[in-house]
């Protein structure tokens, strides 16, 4: 495995590897992606292999120019109204942390979309990602560069530690700016909806399209070890349902350490116990908790954003969970974020990371 800091020379090398059918982990503004040529079915099979990802979980196709939408999507299959919305969204929110589900172009192999007639398309807002995608032929399929179901990588080191030699090359572009995956928005039919909350807040999308979105679909509970009552559906039963986005699985993005997530009032009352770590949203709550405790000298206390800024908190979430997860704690208690803006995506990931 080649591990290099991202610069013009290493990006050219990485593009050569992707064009030759290999796998490259690369930085984006959300999390690191595990990229392969989106038109190369064999290379895409390697992505599923490296991640241990079920074949029924479709990949996001990354592009580096709005014009490439024509090559990866079948825009003629969209209604005039959906096309209008797409171009409004593209004009206002691309590049950025938004993946739009559209009818797929026949040039994209079925394995990329897990047999679905749709593909999620994203134009990342990151120089390294854009250069790499352009040089590698314009369309790179990339899931987050982590083993399936575990925490997403916000640093190149996370990819190296978790995937190592399963990838041909890792481009190190430093820590991810947003630190949470993109919002997945389905506009492939008239029932426009968010399949996964993420780096683009719902409010920003509503402002562009001019109306309120329906509340997010209820969480899918299959795949959750904590919910043994719910039988696992067969992979076949998932394929025809384009609404099922495995980012919606109840248990996903999970650390190994048991994590409990509670609201502000409850975490303040949670007594300190040796071996437990506490993850607060802001200093205000952390200080109130500290005041209420007797012995906290050895307490592992982390705060996502001292001032309670959701953008800062989002960018630190996975990073802090990675750090706490390697600290051998018995359990982690975490505080929910205020639910508006990016808080929705933060709470979504905390809930899925919890037991």
Binding site for Mg ion (CB under 5 A): 144
125 lies in the site for ligand TXA, by CB under 6 A: no
Q: Which does 29 bind (CB under 5 to 8 A by kind): ligand TXA, Mg ion, none?
A: none
Interacting positions 288-307 with ligand TXA (CB under 6 A):
none
Task: Show the 3-state SS of 327-351.
Answer: CCCCEEEEECCCCCCCHHHHHHHHH
- Looking at the chain, the number of H-run helices and the number of E-run strands are 12, 14
Cβ nearer to ligand TXA, comparing 44 with 261 = 44
Which phi and psi angles does 68 have, rounded to 5°? -65, -15
What are the CA-CA distances from residue 318 to residues 158, 257, 342 (Å)? 10, 13, 14
Residue 309 sits at the vertex; the CA angle it makes with 303 and 312, to the nearest 5 degrees, is 70
160 lies in the site for ligand TXA, by CB under 6 A: no
Looking up tokens 């589900």, which residue turns up?
A: 101
Which H or E run contains 311? helix 310-325
Interacting positions 59-88 with ligand TXA (CB under 6 A):
59-60
Q: Which does 116 bind (CB under 5 to 8 A by kind): Mg ion, ligand TXA, none?
A: ligand TXA
Cβ nearer to ligand TXA, comparing 158 with 196 = 196
Cβ of residue 22: shortest distance to ligand TXA, in angstroms?
Answer: 17
Q: Which does 28 bind (CB under 5 to 8 A by kind): ligand TXA, Mg ion, none?
A: ligand TXA
Q: Which does 113 bind (CB under 5 to 8 A by kind): Mg ion, ligand TXA, none?
A: ligand TXA
Cβ of residue 327: shortest distance to Mg ion, in angstroms?
Answer: 23
Interacting positions 214-273 with ligand TXA (CB under 6 A):
242, 245-247
Cβ of residue 45: shortest distance to ligand TXA, in angstroms?
Answer: 15
Which phi and psi angles does 63 have, rounded to 5°? -125, 170
122 lies in the site for ligand TXA, by CB under 6 A: yes
Tell me which stretch binds ligand TXA (CB under 6 A): 79-87, 118-126, 165-173, 261-269.
118-126
Write the DSSP string, 91-150. Answer: HHH-SSSEEEEEEBPTTS-GGGGTT-SEEEEE--S-HHHHHHHHHTTSEEE--BSSSTTB
Residue from the set 125, 168, 181, 344 that interacts with ligand TXA by CB under 6 A = 181
Tell me which stretch binds ligand TXA (CB under 6 A): 176-184, 259-267, 281-289, 308-316.
176-184
Tell whether omega for the bond before 95 is within 30 degrees of 0, i.e. cis: yes
Grouping H, G, I as helix, E, B as strand and the rest as coil, residue 292 is helix
57 lies in the site for ligand TXA, by CB under 6 A: yes
Distance of CA 243 to the CA centre of its chain: 17
Rounded Cα distance, 114 and 56, in Å: 5
Token pair of 88, please? 């409004």
Cβ nearer to ligand TXA, comparing 282 with 348 = 348
Burial class of 302 by CB neighbour count within 10 A (0 to 12, 13 to 18, 19+): middle
Q: Which does 348 bind (CB under 5 to 8 A by kind): ligand TXA, Mg ion, none?
A: none
Grouping H, G, I as helix, E, B as strand and the rest as coil, residue 254 is strand
Looking up tokens 């590049």, which residue turns up?
A: 95
Residue from the set 128, 142, 185, 238 that interacts with ligand TXA by CB under 6 A = 142
Residues engaged in binding ligand TXA (CB under 6 A): 28, 30-31, 33, 57-60, 97, 99, 101, 113, 116, 118-120, 122, 124, 142-144, 181-182, 184, 195-196, 242, 245-247
């Amino acid at each position: 495995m080649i591990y290099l800091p991202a610069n013009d020379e290493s990006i050219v090398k990485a593009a050569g590897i992707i064009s030759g059918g290999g796998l490259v982990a690369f930085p984006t503004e959300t999390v690191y992606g595990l990229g392969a040529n989106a038109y190369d079915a064999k290379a895409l099979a390697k992505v599923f292999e490296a991640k241990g990802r079920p074949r029924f979980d479709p990949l996001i196709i990354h592009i580096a120019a709005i014009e490439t939408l024509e090559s990866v999507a079948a825009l003629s299959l969209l209604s005039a109204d959906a096309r209008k919305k797409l171009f409004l969204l593209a004009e206002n929110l691309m590049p950025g942390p938004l993946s739009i589900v559209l009818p797929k172009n026949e040039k994209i192999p079925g394995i990329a979309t897990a047999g679905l007639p749709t593909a999620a398309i994203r134009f990342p807002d990151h120089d390294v990602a854009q250069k790499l995608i352009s040089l590698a032929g314009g369309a790179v399929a990339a899931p987050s560069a982590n083993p399936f179901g575990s925490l997403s990588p916000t640093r190149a080191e996370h990819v190296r530690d978790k995937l190592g030699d399963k990838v041909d090359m890792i481009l190190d572009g430093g820590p991810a700016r947003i630190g949470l995956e993109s919002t997945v928005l389905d506009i492939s039919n008239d029932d426009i909806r968010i399949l996964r909350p993420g780096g683009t807040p719902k409010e920003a999308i509503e402002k562009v399209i001019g109306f309120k979105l329906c509340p997010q679909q209820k969480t899918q509970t299959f795949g959750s070890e904590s919910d043994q009552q719910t039988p696992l559906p067969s992979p076949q039963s998932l394929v025809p349902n384009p609404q099922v986005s495995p980012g919606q699985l109840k248990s996903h993005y999970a650390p190994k350490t048991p994590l409990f997530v509670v609201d502000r009032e409850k975490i303040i009352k949670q007594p300190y116990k040796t071996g437990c770590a506490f993850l607060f949203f802001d200093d205000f709550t952390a200080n109130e908790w500290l005041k209420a405790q007797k012995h906290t000298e050895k307490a592992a206390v982390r705060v996502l954003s001292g001032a309670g800024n959701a953008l800062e908190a989002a960018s630190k979430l996975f990073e802090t969970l990675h750090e706490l997860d390697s600290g051998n704690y018995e359990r982690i208690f975490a505080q929910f974020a205020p639910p508006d803006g990016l808080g929705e995506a933060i709470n979504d990931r905390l809930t899925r990371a919890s037991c």
